[in-house]
Structure 1
Amino acid sequence: MTPGRRQRRPKAGVPGRGHRPVVFDLSDFLIRAHLDARLTSAGWDGRLILPETVVDLSDIGAVYHRRCPPFDLPEAMNADEQRFARVEGRFGLGGVLASLGAHWVSHPSTMADAEYKPVQYAAAVRAGLELPPTWVGNVPESTSAFLARQGGAGVYKPLGGAFHVEGCRTQVVYANRITDTEELRDSALALTAHCFQQWVDKDYEVRVTVVGTRLFAVAIHATSEAAYVDWRTDYASHRYEVVEVPDTVREGLERYMRAFDLTYGAADFIVSPDGSWTLLEVNPNGEWGWLAHHCDLPIGQTIADLLEKGQT
């Protein structure tokens, strides 16, 4: 069980905890699932017509929001038609659902704000969390000078997410260690923005899964060279260990989550040989299932509690 592997969907309407859970695979919209909503004086009224059930919008009390996959569309539609349909579908369905008075884990608008790495880095610093020296921009000479000031050891990180599409192929862009500052003087770097950080020596890394007020911290010991730079490259090399979060880090994360009004986050830290914790990023929609599986952590149950009660 590793992140990104699509699991079989449970059937909608299976009773649990006295509530009716429904799974809505967003790729079903617009072909296999439909929205039927009208505006009233109290807001939107109507229904979601899903492949296995029908849900009244007024019955939606809580939403656990995972990543939104592309809507499936007929192959007969050309690329421009598909692009238009997906944008309209996202704003139509997303707008209606986001306007409901449901409890979200977490609300799409707060997650969208927290997805911007420069925004989250600034918020993390204000929250008292330690981050590596960081540079963002598209001036090649400044990039090279920044890394030279860090001793020539840096890391490149994508700003817009790890997935990059070329043609019909999706590739994952991992963090890359940079040691040659001269190659960063290439004028082509001016064509878009980049993010570079100082390389931080690590003993191991920690993913802290934040659910409401509860923190689940797991040390990730990577034994391969590639995973030592970015543990996502080689899950087979991992050894996991449940660890405690230092009080200062816990308090910083609490301030960070309040700043964005997030109820869920996956925070990644480097733990250096001297025991210091350095934040890399907080993913507002990060994976947790494989850690709960390997370490027998009640993350899923805690999310369910949060959905039921609105707090933990």
Structure 2
Amino acid sequence: MILCITHSQDTYTIDLVQQQLQQFGHTAFRFNSDEFGSRYRLRYRLTPSGPQYQLQCGSQVIDARDITGVWYRKLWALQVPPSLDPAYVPAFLKEYNTSLHIFLDALDVPWINRIDLDHAVGGNKLLQLSAAQASGMRVPQTLFSNHAEDAIRFYDDHQGDVVVKLHGALSKTMEGRGDFFPTTRLRKEDVPMLESLSACPMILQEYIPKDRELRIVYIDGDFYTGSLRAPEHTDWRMASTTLIQWEAFQLPRHIEDKIDEMMRLLGLQFGAIDMILQPDGEYVFLEVNPQGEWGMLEKYLGFPIAATIAEKLVNRINNE
């Protein structure tokens, strides 16, 4: 059985991957991580033959020993039962999160991606930039600071050609829903606002001229790339999805090789990578999201991303 970790609001991509896994002859169980404290029962026993970890949903009991692989798509915050006394919420969250990770840590099987590496990379954009640079890719000059003086000096050093963004994105779906702070080009009149950085550290980067924006889906050595003509906005996710026209794009082999090297350095089998193709033809790496969205590329460009995720995971299971 293959465990597919996601959340209760997930649609489309989770269904596609589960269907593909079943076509490869593997049972796929959808685990909505946000419902762990309300929909599932957990059971841990230390037996004479060793530890036993079980997850139960309705009448179905899943033993950790029966799980052969994991597709880790998303891990959402736990839903708190509305009837729970607020005084007990901290204990509820602490104990359920501990129980969840005890269960997940017991799964010594192939993962795409391993949860610890996924979180380590997704939570550290400076690590991503360092790995990309070490792999031979060009990256933007970057400052991450809570100090206004540093930010103003960075702005002046780049003659005002600077963008600003949060290190950790707020929520954003492939349809463009949800709270969001986009990558924004810093204007001269915004510079005095940098005094407020002490309340919220932010990333400043040199502005990179664009011909195309690229969303590259990497799956264990395979690539699927969609491109957009550079929009008016700094961040393509600000535009109405009805106006976004994705086009298939073929990366040069030397860029694919550098991305592959970076992903192997980071220990990831999957990632959604954002790059810029400049008007002069140079490629610039921006970031890799280990849980990045790709459904729009499968939907609008017909890329077999779900099938490739399923195939790569099954291959890893068979090669164990």
Q: TM-score range by the shorter chain?
A: 0.7 to 0.9
Distance apart, 1:183 and its partner CA:
2.1
* Correspondence for 1:173: 181
Select 1:280's aligned residue among 273, 278, 286.
Answer: 286
Distance 1:269 1:39 in 2: 49
Structure 2 distance, partners of 1:300, 1:122, is 29
**Correspondence for 2:203:** 195
Residues matched between the structures, number: 301
Aligned partner of residue 58 in structure 1, secondary structure: helix
Given the superposition, is the C-alpha separation of residues 295 and 186 from structure 1 closer, same or farther in structure 2, using an over 3 Å criterion? closer
Q: Which residue does 1:60 correspond to in 2?
A: 67
2:78 to 71, 82, 95: 71
Offset at residue 161 of structure 1 (A): 2.2
**Residues 1:97 and 1:40: Cα distance change in structure 2 (over 3 Å):** farther
Partner amino acid, structure 2, of 1:292: E
Counterpart in the other structure of 2:127: 119
User: RMSD of aligned C-alpha atoms?
Assistant: 2.7
Residues 245-289 of structure 1: per-residue CA shift (max 9 Å, x gap): 122321221111111211101100011111111111000110111
Q: Which amino acid aligns with 1:247?
A: R
In 2: Cα distance, 1:258 partner to 1:155 partner: 29
Q: Does 1:36 align with 2:43?
A: yes
Q: Does 1 or 2 have the higher relative contact order (CA < 8 Å, sep 6+)?
A: 2
**Contact conserved, 2:53 with 2:106, CA < 8 A, in 1?**
no
* Partner SS, residue 79 of structure 2: coil
How much does 1:207 deviate? 0.7
Counterpart residue number, 2:250:
244
Q: Does 1:146 align with 2:151?
A: no
Question: Could you say if the C-alpha distance between residues 184 and 121 of structure 1 is closer, same or farther in structure 2, counting changes exceeding 3 Å?
Answer: farther
TM normalised by structure 2 equals: 0.85
CA distance in 1, matches of 2:285, 2:131: 12
Which of 231, 237, 251 aligns to 1:232? It is 237
Q: Which deviations, in whole Å up to 9, do the C-alpha atoms of 1:281-312 show, x marking residues without a partner?
A: 00011011111111101110010011211189
TM-score when normalising by structure 1: 0.87
After superposing the two structures, state which structure 1 stretch, 175-184 or 60-69, moved more.
175-184
Structure 2: runs of 5 or more not aligned: 1-7, 173-177
Q: Is 1:271 the counterpart of 2:277 in the alignment?
A: yes
Consecutive unaligned residues in structure 1, runs of 5 or more: 165-169
